[in-house]
Structure 1
Amino acid sequence: MEKLTIILLLVSAIGANAASFPFILNNLLRVDCGLTGDTTETYNNQSWFPDTFFINPGKTTHITSSPDVPQVMTTLRYFPNEEDKNCYRLPLTNTQKFTFRAGFYYGNYDGKSQPPVFDLSLGGQPWATVNSSTTADVPVFQELIYAPRNDNISVCLTGRKEYGSATPFISSLEATYLDEHETDNRTVYGMMRNGTAYHLVARLNFGVMIKS
């Protein structure tokens, strides 16, 4: 069977400047959070869509980063209404499984030197608590594999005032379709049912050969 081609069509506008817009993608969706305009950007031969087609609330900004930080991390969307649940709506199918990856690069964009802590949820269920201060001046990523219950998946951010600075923000959001050979019933992913998720805790390379 050929790989699934996802055809994403937003029928209604999201936000004042977002018209109906078709997305024809091969197996993945990459969103550059905070990117302005209505056209894609290409970084390292990868196409990224602006997030204005998937969310309305929040404010955007651009930050200056070091050469070691990916270019997609130089824009972000932040949400001053900390206690509100601010959600991206991703028009994906519930007949497939996806790897979701969210990226966060604080970069002292607000000049406060107070990296926030906030909650991240997917499909109405807790995903992770994002602590953007844990890695100083490098991006933080959260990743999981999820079998959606419904079409139009929600990825939401909510502040946590008990940690002081709690303004949620996000730099990038990706959803990648798992190929059918990875979701065969004989594999660990194939045994997943709708509404279940595997959360990445660590990625290790055991048995790697070290060249002398």
Structure 2
Amino acid sequence: MNAGGSITDNIAGIVYQPDTQFIDTGINYKIPKSYMTSWPLPQVETLRSFPDGDRNCYTIDQVNQGEKYLIRAFFLYGNYDGQEGSPLQFDLHLGVNYWQMVNLTDPSDLYPAEIITVAKDDYFSICLVNTGSGTPFISSLELRLIDSVDVYTDVNQSNSLVLYGYARRNVGGTPSQLIR
């Protein structure tokens, strides 16, 4: 996560803000350039690591209670701590509810986690939970309002959708077409 100024994704026009206004724990690290060759994304050049505490949570306010949101997190280990070796595992929670396990086996892999959910409050609490299998960290955290009631109709106050697998695939557009 970027501790400095904002970063703009010039292709998609998305502005990434520093995470200091959303969390006050953790330590920022820069990913070595040798791990950035496969993922030249400015929003994953840094990360925030959480060596202390069992549960570290981001509090994202300015959320509209009852609205649908896409929450997306990215994890690029990049051997930031020089401890490359055994797999790294920790859990993600949305508030008190289990979201999914993050399981990293290759320091060069970019691991995505996504959930589409309805805001039960006027904020989200996104937590990284230490399960004793490595230090939790996060590279990027995104929150996007889904402003159409006609999509993801199965998502409601008691049902969320979680991305299964590593990525979405373009199964209909032209190869050069950007789909966001």
Q: Same fold (TM over 0.5)?
A: yes
Q: Which has the larger radius of gyration?
A: 1
1:96–1:41 distance in 2 versus 1, CA, 3 Å:
same
Deviations for 1:76-110, whole angstroms, at most 9, x for unmatched residues? Answer: 000112x5210000111212101111000000000
* Equivalent position to 1:127, from 81, 85, 99: 99
1:87–1:195 distance in 2 versus 1, CA, 3 Å:
farther
Deviations for 1:163-211, whole angstroms, at most 9, x for unmatched residues? Answer: 3xx200000001111122xx23xx5x2343224211111445668999x
Contact 1:149/1:195 (8 A) holds in 2: no
**Residue 85 of structure 1 corresponds to which residue in structure 2?**
55
Contact 1:123/1:148 (8 A) holds in 2: no
Report the alpha carbon displacement of residue 42 of structure 1 after superposing the two structures with TM. 1.4
TM-score (norm 2): 0.82
Q: Is 2:5 the counterpart of 1:67?
A: no
TM-score (norm 1): 0.71
For residues 101-112 of structure 1, the aligned pairs below 5 Å read 101-112=72-83
In 1, the alpha carbon distance for the partners of 2:67 and 2:154 equals 12
Task: Give the secondary structure class of the aligned counterpart of 2:129.
Answer: strand
Name stretches of at least 5 consecutive residues in structure 2 with no aligned partner: 176-180
Question: Which piece of structure 1 moves more, 40-49 or 197-206?
Answer: 197-206
Task: Give the secondary structure class of the aligned counterpart of 2:127.
Answer: strand
For residues 1-212 of structure 1, the aligned pairs below 5 Å read 33=1, 35-37=2-4, 39-44=5-10, 45-65=13-33, 66-69=36-39, 70-81=41-52, 83-91=53-61, 92-114=63-85, 115-133=87-105, 135-161=106-132, 163=133, 166-180=134-148, 183-184=149-150, 189-202=152-165, 203=168
Higher relative contact order (CA 8 A, sep 6+): 2
In 2, the alpha carbon distance for the partners of 1:208 and 1:176 equals 22
Q: Identify the structure with the greater strand proportion.
A: 2
Indicate the percent of aligned positions where both proteins have the same amino acid: 36
Counterpart AA for 1:129: M
Count of paired positions? 166
Name stretches of at least 5 consecutive residues in structure 1 with no aligned partner: 1-32
